[in-house]
Structure 1
Amino acid sequence: MTTLHLRCACGEIQGKAEVPSPESGNRVVCYCKDCQAFAMQLQPEKILTPHRGTAIFQVSPSSIQWHQGVEHIRCLRLTAAGLHRWYAGCCQTPLANTLKPSFPFVGLIETAIAPEDRTDKNLGPVRAHAYPQHANPRLPQDILQHNRVWPMMIRVMLKILGWKLTGKGKPNPFFDPKGQPVSQPEVIDSTR
């Protein structure tokens, strides 16, 4: 079992993710316009990779526990039906992306993982670069040649199915037992 220490930049929010092994999660870098728009609402220079990607480690909701600072967790949605995008209201550190509370999936944004735990040993290799067409500047050719998005998507779907069948969708650290978000989402105009 690997414990990933979670915290925002100022330390007000702290928690952990317990993962049996790097294989139990899924590491990706996403370059989609929505991830870029979310970063632009916070601190893009601290979130985005040199090619405007967001590094994400996908885990089951039940693997995450907050020890302090839940009252500082905030939520943005780029549309009323979009992803819940969680961040620290105290210091603007992005924390995670989720869908609806019944969907057993959390995309932990790597900036929420303690720097000493952000290693290949703990998280595994980056399995894919999602939406590489939105990278800016363009990704190097060796990354594009070896990018395998479809196998990663199948892997994620199988993980989500497994988490659903084994009850790892609950408890969800971003929703209360009734399925309400721990912070009322603010729907923003991402074109600002």
Structure 2
Amino acid sequence: MSNSVDLKCFCGQVSGSLEIVPSASFHVHCLCCDCQSYARFLKNQERILDEHGGSELFQTYPSLMKITAGAEHIAGVQLAPKGIYRWYASCCNTPVANTLGKASVPFVGVSVKFMCFANEQEKLSALGPVTLKAFGKYAVDEMPKDAHPRFPPSFLPKILWFMFKGKIGGKNKPSPFFAGDKPVSDVQRLAVTPAGK
């Protein structure tokens, strides 16, 4: 069973769609200091982060995501030499998605802020409940009671099985962020000051 969610940046110039496959996805909140630094870089903390400094992401396969308009505005940054690629719409600094640095890896973490929902109920109906809230030690003010201080080891087998299925099924392509083995735009290396504790 699957359905489709419309994607659109804050100003509407970048848009697309995401196929939602419950068996091939994780709805997560990340409270890590890197995500907070990234939001500061985009100068959109209030629109991107929740009250605890968390980012809401939907982790799935690149082949399920399409950019149908405004691809020329897709830009990428990297916070560390071996860090993930963080893609955003340069027209209005909307976070779009995170990927690893290699096109061969079947993983994309799509920002829920890049998705179109009428309300919270519609969002949860499409994406399902949040199944992981990680890196709570970096939360703004108090750590949420339902958050893990770091990444829980018990979640790792689920991620590895997800990656294995994606690799076998060739779910790394097509990708909106890679043309062959090359990123669709130059990925800028940032020098950032970590947020959090």
**TM-score w.r.t. length of structure 2:** 0.89
| % same residue | 36
Q: Deviations over 1:144-182 (max 9, x none)?
A: 48x9933433222211110111111111110002x1111
Separation in structure 2 between the aligned mates of residue 111 and residue 139 of structure 1, nearest angstrom: 22
> By how many angstroms is 1:140 displaced?
3.5
Separation in structure 2 between the aligned mates of residue 144 and residue 87 of structure 1, nearest angstrom: 26
Backbone CA RMSD of aligned residues: 1.9
Separation in structure 2 between the aligned mates of residue 140 and residue 38 of structure 1, nearest angstrom: 21
Separation in structure 1 between the aligned mates of residue 46 and residue 174 of structure 2, nearest angstrom: 32
Change (3 A) 1:175 1:148: closer
Separation in structure 2 between the aligned mates of residue 103 and residue 41 of structure 1, nearest angstrom: 26
The answer to whether 1:161 aligns with 2:161 is: no
Change (3 A) 1:37 1:131: same
Gap regions ≥5 residues in structure 1: none
Separation in structure 2 between the aligned mates of residue 15 and residue 113 of structure 1, nearest angstrom: 9
Contact 1:26–1:156 (8 Å) recurs in 2: no
4+ residue runs over 4 A deviation: none
The count of residues paired between Structure 1 and Structure 2 equals 188
What is residue 74 of structure 1 aligned with on the other side?
A: 75
Structure 1 window deviating more from structure 2 (46-55 vs 151-160): it is 151-160
Contact 2:134–2:147 (8 Å) recurs in 1: no
What is residue 28 of structure 2 aligned with on the other side?
A: 28
What is residue 176 of structure 1 aligned with on the other side?
A: 179
Gap regions ≥5 residues in structure 2: none
Separation in structure 2 between the aligned mates of residue 150 and residue 116 of structure 1, nearest angstrom: 35
- 2:185 counterpart letter in structure 1: S
- 2:124 counterpart letter in structure 1: D
**TM-score w.r.t. length of structure 1:** 0.91
